[in-house]
Chains A and B, each alone.
Chain A
Amino acid sequence: SAVISQKPSRDICQRGTSLTIQCQVDSQVTMMFWYRQQPGQSLTLIATANQGSEATYESGFVIDKFPISRPNLTFSTLTVSNMSPEDSSIYLCSVARAEWLGEQYFGPGTRLTVT
């Protein structure tokens, strides 16, 4: 498994501003992912963070709105840009290694409220 931390744990932001969320893992991992969990909903994959190259985004998510960085094998950031109240959600990062056979471990999440 892996120990994953996220910063901030929660934030309240004004519409039109941007927030960068950090995800740190205690060991090197092959893959890192970002998910969104809207209020009362399940998790939806935003993108796969690729080390050294552009992230791979899922349908409905674009780089201009959710830019992602992954400078090394233990760290990634997700920025929520030009926020609106619809962006109020919990944002979670997860990690995986090839030998885990598809298993992913999740960070504690960042609870974002946009006013």
Chain B
Amino acid sequence: AQSVTQLDSHVSVSEGTPVLLRCNYSSSYSPSLFWYVQHPNKGLQLLLKYTSAATLVKGINGFEAEFKKSETSFHLTKPSAHMSDAAEYFCVVSDRQEYGNKLVFGAGTILRVKS
């Protein structure tokens, strides 16, 4: 079975400081992993994806994530937080070999950015 655990329900950082949102996954085969962002009262936007190519993935708005198979992790980072980064972030796993295109969402992490 595939599943995702986001280790923090809320993260608070100061503007200009690094962001770390933690995600661990469980998958039987070779998963695809995604990070989506949801701003208040807005739809979901894809930040970045890992699909078995480079383990360090760069996304939009300065975000990046590293796939670590040995740790079954896919943490999201950004060197310097901006006020506009305040949103809810979802880590998502897809095990296409076993489950086709079904996405499994983590519970979400709400990122707060303080000025």
Contact = CB atoms under 8 A, between A and B. Distances in A.
A9 B96 CA distance: 31
Interface in A93-111: 94, 96, 101-109
Given A101-B32, A102-B94, A42 B101 contact: no
Interface string B49-92: 10100000000000000000000000000000000000000100
Contacts of B96: 101-102
B101 A45 contact: no
Contact of B101 (A44, A102, A108): A102
Contacts of B34: 102-103
A contacts with B: majority SS: strand
Contacts of B46: 103-105
Contacts, number: 50
Given A92-B43, A102-B34, 9 more contacts: A31-B101, A41-B107, A42-B90, A94-B103, A102-B51, A102-B94, A102-B101, A106-B44, A106-B45
Contacts of A103: 32, 34, 46, 49
A12 interface: no
Interface string B18-49: 00000000000000101010000011111001
Contact of A42 (B45, B102, B106): B106
A45 B44 contact: no
Contact of B43 (A42, A48, A102, A108): A108
A102 B108 contact: no
B101 A109 contact: no
Nearest to A101: B51
Nearest to B108: A42
A62 interface: no
Given A31-B101, A104-B103, A43 B90 contact: yes
27 contacts: A31-B101, A33-B101, A41-B107, A43-B44, A43-B90, A43-B103, A43-B105, A48-B101, A92-B43, A92-B44, A101-B32, A101-B49, A101-B51, A101-B96, A102-B49, A102-B94, A102-B101, A103-B34, A104-B46, A104-B101, A104-B103, A105-B46, A106-B36, A106-B44, A106-B45, A107-B43, A109-B43
